[in-house]
Amino acid sequence: MENSDNKISQAADKIMNSRHLVAFTGAGISVESGIPSFRGEDGLWSKYDPQVLELSHFHQYPLESWTVIKEIFYDFFGEARPNPAHVVLADLEKSGLLKCVITQNIDNLHQTAGNTVVHEFHGNSHNLVCTKCKRHFGLAEVNLDVLPPKCGLCQGLLKPDFIFFGEGIPQQAYQASHIAAEKADVFLIIGSTGEVSPANQIPVHAKNTGATIIEVNPEKSRYTSYITDIHLKGKAGEIMTKLMEQISIKLKSKVIK
Ligand code: NAD
């Protein structure tokens, strides 16, 4: 058995015997769905100006900002479908092992895959909020053919309900994520650099309150030599598929015994 297979087997044991498994995801889990991360050579910010996600710029130039926001977060993200890593997390929830997903992503792919308990630390592009009367709208209720989109009630400017630079974390998601991290005895980090604050404190909180940290990432992150107990090096889709295979085999042999 290769070293990486050993580690996958070790991680599968930890997950199978867990009492409260929690997953924490970053941009990396959606890379195999065709959505690049923000930073890095092929990152979205190598092609687009991140200024479109600055609140003052958005309010000053709503049409210009919305034109780019629509292209990235609705036309481009809209094409994306869950990949095997998202599907495995949904299967783990169905099996009763996974208690919740904490995600920094705004692409809605965990819900599309079937996860029902998802704490969205940075919000979700599938919801919009009126900047004037604060009413919320689902994506299906808004016509993005006419930009910038306006509130049907007060004509205020609509904004995607994910956080822009400098905005605070949604309070409910913040609290729920901390509670989940505290309850976790096994904490799975998938595809996150650990550079985005305050989200990067959640896995540290889980570690400090006793969780075993399993990390899936083709690269080393800030977590790897700091809090990670088992680093499964590789792409999320491939590693999570192998991990689920191991869990299924072990569960079957447990039932037979
Ligand atoms: P990030 O912190 O989310 O890190 C991306 C990580 O993914 C890196 O460590 C990289 O090594 C890893 N990675 C790359 N390919 C992978 C794969 N196939 N499998 C597993 N891991 C892989 O970095 P960011 O892009 O700077 O993100 C900043 C913030 O913006 C984060 O909160 C992020 O979640 C959010 N964001 C969300 C989306 C989305 O909704 N899909 C896309 C881009 C950024």
Q: What is the pLDDT of residue 199?
A: 98
Q: Which CATH number fits domain 1-35+82-122+169-257: 3.40.50.1220, 1.10.3720.10, 3.40.109.10, 2.40.50.140?
A: 3.40.50.1220
Distances (CA, A) of 37 to 29, 45, 104, 248: 9, 9, 11, 31
Q: Which token pair is 158?
A: 């609509």
Burial class of residue 138 (count of CB atoms within 10 Å of its CB; 0-12, 13-18, 19+): exposed
Look at 23 and 46; give whichever has higher pLDDT: 23
Q: Average of pLDDT values for 107-136?
A: 97
Residue 231 contacts residue 213 (beta carbons within 8 Å):
no
Catalytic pick among 122, 126, 205, 231: 122
Rounded average pLDDT over 198-208: 98
pLDDT at 23: 98
Q: Which of 38, 39, 108 has the most ligand 1 atoms within 8 A of CB, as the residue to mutate?
A: 38
Q: Is the peptide bond before 84 cis (omega within 30 degrees of 0)?
A: no
**Which CATH topology does 36-79+125-162 take?**
SIR2/SIRT2 'Small Domain' (3.30.1600)
Structure tokens that stand for 214 in this block: 């399993």
Query: Is the confidence at residue 3, as pLDDT, over 70?
Result: no
CB of 218 shorter than 6 A to ligand 1: yes
pLDDT (tens digit per residue) in 83-117: 999 999 999 999 999 999 999 999 999 999 999 99
Q: What is the mean pLDDT of the chain?
A: 94
pTM over 0.85: yes
- Reported as a pLDDT band with limits 50, 70 and 90, residue 2 is low
Q: According to the 3-state scheme, what is the secondary structure of 32-97? A: HHCCCCCCCCCCHHHCCCHHHHEHHHHHHCHHHHHHHHHHHHHHHHHCCCCCHHHHHHHHHHHCCC
Residue 53 CA, ligand 1 centroid: distance in Å:
17
CB-ligand 1 contact for 234 (6 Å cutoff): no
**Is 122 an active-site residue?**
yes
Distance from CA of residue 27 to its chain's centroid? 6
- Say if CB 22 and CB 99 are below 8 A apart: yes
Q: Do domains 1-35+82-122+169-257 and 36-79+125-162 have the same CATH topology?
A: no
Residue 208 CA to residue 113 CA, distance in Å, equals 30
Domain boundaries, the chain: 1-35+82-122+169-257, 36-79+125-162
